[in-house]
Amino acid sequence: MVDLKKNSSYKKQYIFEVLKFPVVTEKSTHSMSSNRYVFKVLKNATKKDIKRSIEIIFNVSVLSVNTLNQNGKKKRFRGKVGFRPSYKKASVRLAQGDSIDLGLKV
């Protein structure tokens, strides 16, 4: 667990900006049963930033963080080429007994 008093230099506002929203797909919902949660995060967020944010916001202990940068897909619309935006995903594994309530009825 991270204590904000010890990390006073860590910006409190940045904690809530790191996590954009949880990824809710069939694969990510299935992985929740093994204490693994997937979030879309800021592109410039590091694994340490993601770990601190989740520990502070949800009051859980994080064992590991895996990240991946997803490039945007090339799409055509009415003959014109465009791209979907690129984003960064983080897969977070929690300690045994911890869980995050995302409001899903599974």
CATH number for the domain harbouring residue 31 = 3.30.70.330
Residue 2 has pLDDT above 90, yes or no: no
Average pLDDT over residues 56-68: 95
Question: Per the domain annotation, does 59 fall within a domain?
Answer: yes
C-alpha 61/C-alpha 93 separation (Å) is 9
pLDDT band at 13 (very low <50, low <70, confident <90, very high): confident
- In terms of residue numbers, what domain contains 58? 12-94
Q: Name, in order, each residue with C-beta under 8 angstroms of 51's C-beta and a sequence gap of 6 or more.
A: 62, 65, 92
Whether the predicted model's global pTM rises above the 0.85 cut = no
Instruction: Quote the mean pLDDT of the chain.
Output: 88
Question: Per the domain annotation, does 3 fall within a domain?
Answer: no
The total number of structural domains that make up the chain? 1
Question: Per the domain annotation, does 6 fall within a domain?
Answer: no
The 10s digit of each residue's pLDDT in 82-105 is 999 999 999 999 999 999 988 765
Residue 27 has pLDDT above 80, yes or no: yes
Average pLDDT over residues 47-72: 94
Copy the structure tokens of residue 39. 């979030």
Average pLDDT over residues 9-33: 86
